[in-house]
Amino acid sequence: MRILRPAVLVLVGVLFSVGAIGAPAQDANSFDPMAVIHIRSAKDAVLVRAAVIRSIWKTDALPANLLVEVTGQPPGFGAANVAGSQVLTRTMEFGLKSHAYFYQVSQFTDCLFIYHSGHDEEITNEVKSSLWKRVVEGGCDLLYLAMPLMHHNPRPLVNSRFGPLLLKNHDVLSVLENDALNPLKFFIEPVLASFDYAATQRGGYRYVFMAGLSGGGWTTTLYAAIDPRISASFSVAGSLPHSLRSLSEKNDFGDWEQYGPSIFRTWDYLDFYLLATHPGRTHIQLLNVHDSCCFAGTKAFIYAGPISQLAKGWRGNFSVVFDENTHIHEVSIEHTQTILATITSLFDTVFPARTLPANP
């Protein structure tokens, strides 16, 4: 069973009832989201976005003309309609490399789907690739990325002010921070660089969708918050506000990037959810009630209404979707259907003759 906050039912065009999954814990009910949110208007959103960008890159706007190299050809994942593919490599400070897989479709419908895998899945994963196949076969180019130091991204030994440093996990990246470098860029910049490359190759995109699981869902929220070119974004089991994380029985604080970067000294995740809807965009948070990893439960009910109402001020759409069927950390069948239905509804406003392949 999936449950969608009533405020944005129009996104999927289907009425979901609020079922018997239960209310949030009493401790969570004491959380007042409006006391945490900094953004109350479209003007606030513009100012906060600029401040976040300055914090990450020390510049007033997203950096342009970031160099990427074509370094190979990625593995296939069984989708028809792929005309060409490339591995795009972005090399950053300390020689840290991030590889993105770029797949170009032959029957192009002027859209790009960015999927961020986070920590723990590969493009050849048969279950997850069903989502990517459907989007690609519906006419969208695909960019596939992973977090730094994960999957196909190397874990280098670098020279630091502390001497040789093996970048074996994300927590180690925090010690690279200095006045000129915010390590948060290692997570966000590869998306920007590969997106810009793809857009240049295609002459731009009419629609850009982004989705991700876990750390990929976290990346999706932050990237959509700072780049208004993302039309709709879908974060699967990616984050909760800090206060609600502290009430979990599990370790919902996660790795350093989830709580340690300097941006969280000023802003909370609620602000980033709002930014991901501005201006006039869609952000859907998809959570598994019985998630085996993180962000389980229904605590997000508490802020879904206030965030949705604020987003309406700039014609944005925010919703939370719960899946209580799955008991693992995954992009479930229900979540896949929500993503595809939302993309299809947006396609139909521009491409009435084009529909995505049907679900099995």
320 in helix, strand or coil?
A: strand
Report whether pLDDT(11) > 50. Answer: no
Per DSSP, the residues of 71-100 read: EE-PPP-S-TTEEEEEEEEEE-GGG-EEEE
State the chain's mean pLDDT as an integer. Answer: 86
Position 91 scores a pLDDT of 97
**Are 40 and 52 a contacting pair, CB within 8 Å?**
no
Residue 354: inside a domain:
no
Residue 56: inside a domain:
yes
Residue 218: inside a domain:
yes
Residue 128 phi, psi (nearest 5): -70, -30
Interatomic CA distance for residues 149 and 256, integer angstroms: 14
Interatomic CA distance for residues 155 and 138, integer angstroms: 35
Residue 46: inside a domain:
yes
Number of domains forming the structure of the chain: 1
Residue 163: inside a domain:
yes
Q: What is the CATH number of the domain that holds 145?
A: 3.40.50.1820
Total count of residues recorded for the chain: 360
Position 148 scores a pLDDT of 93
Residue 195: inside a domain:
yes
Give the structural domain span for 135.
2-15+25-348
Residue 45: inside a domain:
yes
> What pTM value is reported for the model?
0.90
Report whether pLDDT(55) > 90. Answer: yes
Residue 353: inside a domain:
no
Residues 6+ apart with CB under 8 A from 163: none
Angle formed by the axes of helices 185-202 and 215-226, to 10°?
60
Interatomic CA distance for residues 260 and 148, integer angstroms: 16
Interatomic CA distance for residues 337 and 341, integer angstroms: 6
For residue 213, give the H/E element and its range.
Answer: strand 207-213
